[in-house]
Amino acid sequence: MGRYRFEGEEHLMFRKTLRKFLQNEAVPNYKKWEREGIIPKSFWKGLGELGFLCPQVSEDYGGLELDFTFSVVITEELERVGTSLVGISLHNDIVVPYIEAYGSPEQLERWLPGCTSADYITGIAMTEPDTGSDLANVQTTAIRDGDHYIVNGQKTFITNGVNGNLFVVVVKTDPSAEPKHRGISLLVVEEGTPGFTKGRNLDKVGLHAQDTAELYFEDCRVPIANLLGEEGQGFPYLMEKLQQERLVVAIGAQIASEDMLEMTINYVKSRKAFGKPVSSFQNTQFKLAEMATKVELGKTFLESLIEDHIQGKEIVKKVSMAKYWLTETAHEISSECMRLHGGYGYMEDYKIARRYRDIPVASIYAGTNEIMKGIIAKKMGL
């Protein structure tokens, strides 16, 4: 029996194969990757060879044509190792779906095979130094000049920014449009395009193995053939795809909570204080009982959302709730579990320390939790 109602034998085998690969290739190297600040491209290649990159893509382009349930398995197994592997889920379930949904036949042929093999590692460039969740106010411009767009601007906090070589960039093709969001388009920019450069690998509080960089565009000439979908339709495209992005973040937060709870239960059973296991103290039992309840509620809510999403239902309000609540819950659990580990919880040798520093950013990316609450309130008619 799998974790979810929708899990069958194929899912179980898929999960088992991926877990074995990660145990052999990721777990022993994770600390090294954290020290180096990046996950090697050889690891990406290994995932691609086994079919774990963009499994939803058509077989015509090197994919397996699997549904989102298999992406859930991949997201969960990556998160069990560590949140620094989030760039792979971003590639699989957030960036590549833009190309699949809005790309022309020529673009699909050009980019998708490389996305399934890791010849292309993707990123999405939304955030700017002065613009975060307010996407309608992006300042990066793409002005038409014959058969090219001339792109000028800067993006920051871009996941896969160092490893990436194919970026979906949110630009203003009509800076004078009113309302502003009608001037937004999506351009695909490849590494090596003249005028496109990358900044350093940013030094973050957590996610130390996840490469994150700034991207610079200075009179960058991008062929009009790289326009994704229609000009001026970028904002509706973004809104349509954010449901899945936020669901992926919620899935990661749920797995992080489950992982922290499990490791803490094991720790307090083995650790002694005053001659008896820490797990025997009422405070410990109550804290763990509270966390276990939140984890169980989160899993049940998440399963229903995954099923609705696969059926194509519009669940923006509930996904916003899940993204906000599950990331906040994970943050609370990381703090409680670290304290239950005592002094050892503050040591980098213990996985809970890594969880503690990796969790907070989940309440910020994919739209801050304050934005989530605003969406919920709007859907409530407030």
Q: Which residues pair with 223 in a beta bridge?
A: 148
Distance, in Å, from the CA atom of 267 to the CA atom of 277, rounded to the nearest integer, reads 9
Q: How many CB atoms are closer than 10 A to CB 3?
A: 16
Q: Is 306 helix (H, G, I), strand (E, B) or coil?
A: helix
DSSP conformation letters of 322-350 = HHHHHHHHHHHHHHHHHHHTGGGGGSTTS
Pairing state between β 227-228 and 272-273: unpaired
Q: For 129, what's the count of Cα atoms within 13 Å in the CB-facing half-sphere?
A: 6
Q: What is the DSSP letter of 5?
A: T
**Look-up: residue for tokens 């239902």?**
313
Annotate 94-122 with b (16+ C-beta within 10 A) or e (fewer). Answer: bbbbbbbebbeeebbebbbbbbbbbbbbb
Q: Is 262 a catalytic residue?
A: no
Does a cis peptide bond (omega within 30 degrees of 0) precede residue 223? no
Task: Choose the catalytic residue: 34, 100, 245, 258.
Answer: 245
Q: Which residues are catalytic?
A: 245
